[in-house]
Amino acid sequence: MATVLITGANRGIGLQLCKQFVDRGDDVIAVCRESNDDLAETGARIVDGIDVGSGAAVEALRQELGDVHIDILVNNAGILRRDSFGEMDYDAMLDQYRVNTLGPLRVTEALADNLAQGSRVAIVSSRVGSIEDNGSGGNYGYRASKAAVNMVGMNLKHELLPRGIAVAILHPGLVATDMTGGTGISPADSAAGLIQRIDELSLDTSGGFWHAEGYALPW
């Protein structure tokens, strides 16, 4: 049995990750801005009121957890604000960077002492953060924030490797959530793939960028 902390746990992929980790017997700490009945029904320990883009909120999370050991840290929280060239909202772009890029770094750094040899860190990124795979453009803020968090993940690989902690950068697939307007595979199927990738993660594969289905993605 592992202790798993998941950010962005109140809906979509995060909620399904909570359900599936709980169902297999893990202790789950569900972190979110606002809880709901669906999350409460999972039986996870809920820590709400946490905006991962806020340094004060992440510090409050650290204090709430104390010395709780974390085996698996899943940085899942993220936001999408659609944009296009000629109609850019730069404040919205910065909001995405704050949550999608700085959020995983803030949380991982704040909880570094809760991790130990054998712990694993997962960052739920996106294929749209791949520079080589960008065949359509658009969504400047979201794409840039995900490309940047991929670099964060690679840096964390180097930082945490001497401590025996592995890092995975994961694309969940196109998932039918509020963020995608209901288009794509089910959150349950995506979560199952992500969990499999996390279970397979080792120090030898740390720093990889993978699709939830198991194949490597280009940077």
> How many independent structural domains does the chain possess?
1
| Residue 9 covered by a domain | yes
CATH number at residue 141: 3.40.50.720
13 contacts 37 by C-beta, under 8 angstroms:
no
Residue 114 structural domain: 3-211
| Residue 52 covered by a domain | yes
Query: Tens digit of pLDDT per residue, the chain (219 long)?
Result: 999 999 999 999 999 999 999 999 999 999 999 999 999 999 999 999 999 999 999 999 999 999 999 999 999 999 999 999 999 999 999 999 999 999 999 999 999 999 999 999 999 999 999 999 998 999 999 999 999 999 999 999 999 999 999 999 999 999 977 666 777 899 999 999 999 999 999 999 999 999 999 999 999
Strand-strand pairing, 209-211 and 166-171: parallel
| Residue 44 covered by a domain | yes
Per-residue confidence (pLDDT) for residue 179, from 0 to 100: 66
Q: Where are the alpha helices (DSSP H) in 66-186?
A: 90-96, 103-110, 140-160
| Residue 47 covered by a domain | yes
| Residue 216 covered by a domain | no
Per-residue confidence (pLDDT) for residue 176, from 0 to 100: 79
